[in-house]
Amino acid sequence: CRTGHGFFGEYFAHFVPTNDQSCPCGEPLQTREHILAECPIYDDHRETLREASEDLIISDLLGTEEGIKALATFIRQSGAFKKLDQPNHPPDDSEPLSMP
């Protein structure tokens, strides 16, 4: 997510143009900003991000220690930025946390 590489439309537009670039919510181009700040699919998980940046400022979420911790929690809980054909299951707390 931080580097702009991942399973989302904006990345596909540049690197895998044969993949669908739209968001499942109907937005024509799924971007990091859309997922983090606007997409209704992730509304239930966005409070975690607001704890680090009340106004969901992308540079705060991607560029500060507090933002990165909140982002990791958001990704883990929401399943954002993962392959759409992978099941979203709660991680085992013993698994090390990795960032996409």
Evaluate whether residue 83 is within a structural domain.
no
Q: Is the pTM of this model over 0.95?
A: no
Evaluate whether residue 63 is within a structural domain.
yes
Evaluate whether residue 85 is within a structural domain.
no
Token pair belonging to 17? 């143009």
Q: Residue 40: which domain range? A: 9-78
Report how many domains make up the chain: 1
Evaluate whether residue 94 is within a structural domain.
no
Evaluate whether residue 21 is within a structural domain.
yes
> In the prediction, which pLDDT does 5 show?
81
CA distance 100 to 4: 10
DSSP character for 38? I
- Do the Cβ atoms of 77 and 48 come closer than 8 Å? yes
Task: List the pLDDT tens digit at each of the 100 positions of the chain.
Answer: 888 888 899 989 889 889 899 999 999 999 999 999 999 999 999 999 999 999 999 999 999 999 999 999 999 999 998 876 544 445 455 444 555 5
